[in-house]
């Protein structure tokens, strides 16, 4: 049986007032989530070895005419 994920949506003011996703980045390692501002973010390691949310540019590869 797989371990239960700790990547759970938070409702504290710290998480609801920012533009990044309302999830702790260190518990959602290498995942992409939608932020509070509607844009997508990926949890990635910075130069100090700490996970943080980095904005991801989503491109639409299929265009409708």
6-64 confidence digits (pLDDT tens): 899 999 999 999 999 999 999 999 999 999 999 999 999 999 999 999 999 877 666 56
Q: Is residue 61 part of a domain?
A: no
Q: Is residue 44 part of a domain?
A: yes
28: domain range? 13-55
pLDDT, residue 63, reads 58
Q: Is residue 17 part of a domain?
A: yes
Q: Is residue 42 part of a domain?
A: yes
Number of structural domains found in the chain: 1
Single pTM value for the model: 0.79
Q: Is residue 31 part of a domain?
A: yes
**Integer Cα distance of 4 and 29 in angstroms:** 14
Residue 27 phi, psi (nearest 5): -100, -10
């Amino acid at each position: 049986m797989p371990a239960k994920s700790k990547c759970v949506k938070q409702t504290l003011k710290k998480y609801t007032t920012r533009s990044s996703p309302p999830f702790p980045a260190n518990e959602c390692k290498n995942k992409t989530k939608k932020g509070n501002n509607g844009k997508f973010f990926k949890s990635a390691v910075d130069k100090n070895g700490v996970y943080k949310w980095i904005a991801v540019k989503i491109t639409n590869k299929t265009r409708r005419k």
